[in-house]
Amino acid sequence: MKIPFLSFSPQHHPIRTEVMAAIADVYDKQWYVLGEQVKAFEAEYSAFNQVAQTIGVANGLDALHLALEALGVQPGDEVIVPSNTYIATWLAISFVGGVPVPVEPDAHTYNLDPELLEAAITPRTKGIMPVHLYGQACAMGPIMAIARRHGLWVVEDNAQAQGATWEGGVVGSFGAANGTSFYPGKNLGALGDAGAVTTKDEALATKIRTLRNYGSQQKYYNEVIGHNSRLDELQAAVLRVKLAHLPAWTAQRQAVAALYQQHLADIPGLVLPATAAGATHVYHLYVVRSAHRDALQQHLTNAGIGTLIHYPVPPHRQQAYAHLNIPAGTYPIAEELAATSLSLPMWPGMTEEHVAEVAAAVRAFEPVAVPA
């Protein structure tokens, strides 16, 4: 049996008729940009995310960029960011002229370590961008307390963790303005690019609504130099159908993770995901670690099992950030994670047989003994 890294079929097949009807409705109503579908999706997503306002935008990167722009980040402002995130978090800071200041993650949860935050704060620091990596909520209590103490804003990167919670609060509802992504493979995925900002702050929401639409609130009157970054009506219509199923799909991801945990718990040298007290995990990705990662990946490929590496190169080691002149070894936890992490197949609708087969293949892997 071939097992792909990701299959949409169990999610998409049962709702095909419903999605096609939603698409046909947009087609027939002939209102394709910022119409009733976007408005309704924004209201429904706000209810889901426990915020007053959702602003639908073109993608997750724009959501983070517009949030930082609305908060008034200026050239030279420092923004604290995880050393082990997807590069989008850093790029959003760079777009507004800010300086990404990396902080290492906790070595077990892979999320920003609150203990290390204060040492990274300088007089130029303006904000903190926690990333709920792989689907696990960050320690938002301690992070928000440190931000308050130092007069900093928080912008959560919630691209991977829709619906995860920290002590009962939904991620994407803690920060001043937070970005999420509906890239197809995310837990709530559109049929193309899409994203949103979530916020409890009405004034900030108005700024971001203006920025996403040419800096205009009233057609052909432009208050600020804005962007064209709007969520499409078609994507909003699809997302409305899918949002209703997200809690069930999340439960399925968590059940798959529990099965993996049962099957893989006693394999020597294999590190499984750990969830912190207070946090929930919605398993956007199921990431294991092995000192023999590349050989394990090759072994699984040979067995017909799809895997990916999230992420092979941390942002500070990317060519795009060569100008920061950060030497290798500066962020050892991020570099260790990049060298050892492997994402196993994970999607709602994976069966017990799928999980058992992946686990059997992982168990059968024998790293070549290194001569002493």
Ligand X SMILES: *Cc1c(COP(=O)(O)O)cnc(C)c1O
- Give me the residues that bind ligand X (CB under 6 A), please: 59-61, 85-86, 88-89, 131, 157, 159-160, 181, 183, 193, 195
Of 11 and 160, the one with the shorter C-beta distance to ligand X is 160
At residue 232, φ and ψ (nearest 5 deg) are -70, 145
User: What does the CA dihedral 247, 253, 258, 264 come to, rounded to 10 degrees?
Assistant: -170
The token pair at 277 is 């007290």
Of 189 and 348, the one with the shorter C-beta distance to ligand X is 189
User: What minimum distance in Å lies between the beta carbon of 362 and ligand X?
Assistant: 24
Of 132 and 289, the one with the shorter C-beta distance to ligand X is 132
User: What minimum distance in Å lies between the beta carbon of 303 and ligand X?
Assistant: 27
In contact, 154 and 198? CB cutoff 8 Å: no
User: What minimum distance in Å lies between the beta carbon of 266 and ligand X?
Assistant: 31
Rounded CA-CA distance 132/144 in Å is: 14
Whether a cis peptide bond, with omega within 30° of 0, leads into 311 is: yes
CA of residue 285 relative to chain centroid, distance: 10
User: What minimum distance in Å lies between the beta carbon of 333 and ligand X?
Assistant: 17
The size of the chain, in residues, is: 372
Residue with the CB atom nearest ligand X in the bound state: 60
Strand partners, 57: 195
Rounded CA-CA distance 249/370 in Å is: 42
Which of 153, 136, 135 lies closest to 144, judged by CA?
153
Give the pairing type, strands 165-166 and 169-170: antiparallel
The token pair at 125 is 């620091």
User: What minimum distance in Å lies between the beta carbon of 337 and ligand X?
Assistant: 14
User: What minimum distance in Å lies between the beta carbon of 142 and ligand X?
Assistant: 20
SS3 185: coil
Of 110 and 183, the one with the shorter C-beta distance to ligand X is 183
The token pair at 192 is 């193309």
User: What minimum distance in Å lies between the beta carbon of 93 and ligand X?
Assistant: 12
Rounded CA-CA distance 274/124 in Å is: 34
User: What minimum distance in Å lies between the beta carbon of 140 and ligand X?
Assistant: 16
Which of 212, 227, 181 lies closest to 34, judged by CA?
212
Of 231 and 355, the one with the shorter C-beta distance to ligand X is 231
Of 129 and 256, the one with the shorter C-beta distance to ligand X is 129
SS3 128: strand
Residue with structure tokens 């995130």?
85
Of 195 and 348, the one with the shorter C-beta distance to ligand X is 195
Residue with structure tokens 């092995």?
290
Residues 6+ apart with CB under 8 A from 119: none
User: What minimum distance in Å lies between the beta carbon of 164 and ligand X?
Assistant: 13
